[in-house]
Amino acid sequence: MAETLRFACRCGTLRGEVTDVSPAAYTNIVCHCTDCRSAYTHLGIADPEKVGILQTTQDRIRITQGGEKLRLFRLSARGALRWYATCCDTPLFYTPTKARAVHVGLNADRLEHPDALGPVTAEAFIPAGPGKTKNRGLGRMVGRMVTRMAAKNLNGEWRDTPFFDADGAPARPPQVLSREERAAALMKVSR
C-alpha cells in the first residue's frame, strides 16, 4: 500500500510531503560524492560524509507550507539544481536542469520518518582507497530512474512539478556559485 511521507526544513517553516511512496515509485540510496556533501557545507552545515537520498519523480513532491522560502543554487554552471530553504539554509532536493527529466532526490534526513524507506538499495561514490571510489547497486538505481522518467514523459505527468514553471524553466532563478564559493564549500568536505 502506498503511503505519504512528510518532510520539513530544519526550522519547520518549509514543509511538504512525498505522495505515493510505494516500492516502485522510489529508490533509497546513499551518495558519498563531493557535490552532494558540498551542498551541505556551502549552506554552513557540517560535512555529512554521506547523504541519504529518496529518489523519485517530481510529481510526487508537494510543498504544503513555506514554498516562498524555496530557492536554488548550482555548484557550477553545468551542475544539478540544488534546492534549499532560505529560512534556515536547509538543503532539501536536487533536480536535473530540465523539467522533462522529472527526477528528484529528496535528502532523506529531512523526512519525518526516514526509516520508513526500508533498506538502502544503492550506494554511489563509496571511498575505496586514495582517489578511488566504487558503487553498489548503480545499475538498478539508474534503470529505475530511467523507467520512471520514460513513464512520466509518456503520460505527461512531467509537467506536475513544484520545481519548474509551465515553460520548463526553474521556478526560481538559480544562483551559480562563484569559483571561490565552490572552492570554499569543497574545502569543508573531508577526504
Tell whether the model's pLDDT for residue 2 goes beyond 80. no
Residue 77 predicted with pLDDT over 90: yes
Taking a C-beta distance cutoff of 8 angstroms, is the pair 101, 59 a contact? no
Prediction pTM value: 0.93
Phi, psi of 100, rounded to the nearest 5 degrees: -65, -15
- pLDDT tens, position by position, 57-76: 999 999 999 999 999 999 99
Can you list the domains of the chain with their CATH numbers? 5-187 (2.170.150.70)
Count the neighbouring beta carbons within 10 Å of the beta carbon of residue 150: 11
- pLDDT over 70 at 1, yes or no: no
Asked whether the beta carbons of 51 and 94 are under 8 A apart, the reply is no
- Tell me the C-alpha distance between 148 and 155, whole Å: 11
* Residue 116's pLDDT band (cuts 50, 70, 90): confident
Based on the number of CB atoms within 10 Å of its own CB, is 87 exposed (0-12), middle (13-18) or buried (19 or more)? Answer: middle
Residue with cell 539544481: 81
